């Protein structure tokens, strides 16, 4: 039987539950499935036996491909992953920000490489095991949230450009994780169906601070100890270096103030970390930069706009205006706390992703908000 190129689909195979289910589903739907597994970063826990040359995920993907009779490739992209994603991860902490490696990895790395391999293997489509859906509307393709709220991954994909979205297939978006496990078991893959979950940050299997020290050995020399300060600038005690803290952090501060203390702000230029009460984390406004939106006018005029400021957080009703420097000023219309530079702000109209951006440093936010207050009332 000859299958037309339009039915050839490249699947990003991690060897796990979700991508395995995707391969089986698409094959059942008449697609000619081609698998590619990216070897991005070798973590010791990914090698089950001594002397094993390939990580478990590659071996598992190869075994599944052989069982299904599909073409499979291994893309060794470890050096590029180090230069792009790991470098970004370290650089963000060194700037006093909290990185979003999964958000950067999807458009800048994994989906780009999948596109390259799709072209190389003559595949019209690209499929992954993300729990989200797609919708075409008014000439644009939008990401929709997945039906399983505990697994929805739409938050991570806001940076995908339209040209990639138009080639994507997300077969699992209308299913729950339990339904995916049941599907695999029904198809005779009982062991795979019982598999565990993957790590959220695939290249870290310990505390990120240890990772920073390991891959940036001079970090303590470059940064060194600094001061914890209060909101008035009063010194409270020494900290280990601003890169080891994140906004909203409470545990691991190693300072006794007689009451709970939270990280409010990080100033990398002065190597200070501001501490305060939980109430001081509350925010009415937020600055967002590096914006990717399908239709900006829709974002600015959406009557039911909401924003998520971290993965798995609730969506907060909001309004948005543009600033002259291409940043967005967001006004929250519900409680918001711990605005963290470097994290993603993802905008939704109901279950539809309108776009997103990175949370910027919030310097002069009160002044900027006051100067633009009237624009929100129009």
Would you list which residues are annotated within the binding site for ATP? Answer: 12-19, 38, 129
Catalytic residue among 23, 123, 202, 302: 202
Judge contact between 254 and 275, C-beta under 8 A. Answer: no
Q: Which residues contact 285 (CB under 8 A, 6 or more apart)?
A: 329, 330, 331, 332, 365, 366, 368, 369
The whole-angstrom separation of Cα 116 and Cα 221 is 40
Q: Pick from 163, 167, 124: which is nearest to 9 by CA?
A: 124
Q: Which residue has the tokens 């590029």?
A: 80
Q: Which of 156, 143, 148 is nearest to 202 (CA)?
A: 156
- Which position among 23, 105, 123, 318 bears the catalytic label? 105
Binding-site residue positions: 12-19, 38, 129
Q: From its phi and psi, is residue 252 left (phi > 0), alpha (psi between -120 and 50) or beta?
A: left
Active site residue 123: no
Burial class for 307, CB neighbours closer than 10 Å (0-12, 13-18, 19+): buried
Residues with catalytic annotation?
105, 202
């Amino acid at each position: 039987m000859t299958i037309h190129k339009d039915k050839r689909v490249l699947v990003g195979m991690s060897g796990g539950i979700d991508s395995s289910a995707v391969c089986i589903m698409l094959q059942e739907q008449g697609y000619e499935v081609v698998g590619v597994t990216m070897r991005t970063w070798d973590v010791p826990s990914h090698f089950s036996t001594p002397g094993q040359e390939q990580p478990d995920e590659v071996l598992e993907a190869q075994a599944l491909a052989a069982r299904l009779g599909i073409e499979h490739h291994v893309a060794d992209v470890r050096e590029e992953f180090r230069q792009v994603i790991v470098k970004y991860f370290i650089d963000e902490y060194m700037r006093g920000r909290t990185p979003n490696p999964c958000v950067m990895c999807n458009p800048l790395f994994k989906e780009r490489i999948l596109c390259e391999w799709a072209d190389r293997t003559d595949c019209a489509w690209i499929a992954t095991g993300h729990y989200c859906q797609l919708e075409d509307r008014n000439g644009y393709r939008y990401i929709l949230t997945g039906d399983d709220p505990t697994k929805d991954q739409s938050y991570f994909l806001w940076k995908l450009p339209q040209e990639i979205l138009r080639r994507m297939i997300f077969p699992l978006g209308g299913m729950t994780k339990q339904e995916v496990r049941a599907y695999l078991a029904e198809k005779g893959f009982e062991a795979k169906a019982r598999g565990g979950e993957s790590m959220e940050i695939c290249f870290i299997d310990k505390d990120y601070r240890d990772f920073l020290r390991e891959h940036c050995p001079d970090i303590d020399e470059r940064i060194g100890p600094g001061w914890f300060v209060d909101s008035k600038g009063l010194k409270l005690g020494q900290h280990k270096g601003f890169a080891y803290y994140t906004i909203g952090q409470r545990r691991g501060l190693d300072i006794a103030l007689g009451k709970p203390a939270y990280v409010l702000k990080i100033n990398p230029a002065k190597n200070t970390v501001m501490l305060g009460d939980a109430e001081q984390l509350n925010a009415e406004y937020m600055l967002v930069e590096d914006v990717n939106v399908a239709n900006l006018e829709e974002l600015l005029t959406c009557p039911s706009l909401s924003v998520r400021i971290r993965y798995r957080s609730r969506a907060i009703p909001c309004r948005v205006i543009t600033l002259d420097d291409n940043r967005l000023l967001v006004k929250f219309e519900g409680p918001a706390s711990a605005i963290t530079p470097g994290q993603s702000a993802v905008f939704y109209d109901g279950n539809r992703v309108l776009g997103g951006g990175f949370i910027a440093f919030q310097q002069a936010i009160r002044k900027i908000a006051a100067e633009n207050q009237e624009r929100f009332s129009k």
